[in-house]
Amino acid sequence: MSNSERTAGGLLGALAGKAKAAVGSVTGNEALQREGRLQQAGSEAELRAWRDQARAARDQQQAELGREQVETEIERERLANELAGQERERQIEEDRQRAERQARLDRQNEETVAQSQRDAERAAAEAEESRAERERLQAAQREVQLERKAADAEEQADQIDPEEAA
């Protein structure tokens, strides 16, 4: 067979290669036997490359799904924090109005309490935002690791069958 001829790949190529090798062995034709072994090896390598490529695609899809889940969770947390902030602001406003009513009796004492409450709520909100940011960063790191894994698998597939990468 000349170098310009194309042989069947995949499972059919492996079977054809095995058949050629068997016929070459039975007939004593070493060239046909060698050609069969080469075709079989090439077809098996192509099958491995297809499997690796499918695995890389699956890993990429999982990474994308993970990224989307992380983004959804981050958005959910942002909205929850926003709602909590609005609720805190509503509560602060009620506290302020109550403090004004009480201010006629003991204004200075109530202003001190209200300011302490606002400071504590602000600190709690900042702590919650810091926690959410840490979680977002951890999720982003996990996403980068998954993308690296997918890229490594794709690179391995390309190394097995460089023609597929072109």
Q: Is the pTM of this model over 0.85?
A: no
pLDDT in tens, the chain (166 residues): 444 345 566 667 777 878 888 888 889 889 888 888 888 888 888 888 999 999 999 999 999 999 999 999 999 999 999 999 999 999 999 998 887 877 677 867 666 788 899 999 999 999 999 999 999 999 999 999 999 999 999 888 888 877 765 5
Residue 57 and residue 55: Cα distance in Å, rounded? 5
CA atoms within 13 A on the CB side of 67: 12
pLDDT the model gives residue 23? 86
Q: Where are the alpha helices (DSSP H) in the chain?
A: 10-27, 30-160, 162-165
**Residue 44 near residue 12, CB atoms below 8 Å:** no
pLDDT the model gives residue 124? 92
**Residue 94 near residue 116, CB atoms below 8 Å:** no
pLDDT the model gives residue 1? 42
pLDDT the model gives residue 15? 78
Domain segments of the chain as ranges: 10-165
pLDDT the model gives residue 117? 93
Residue 113 and residue 120: Cα distance in Å, rounded? 11
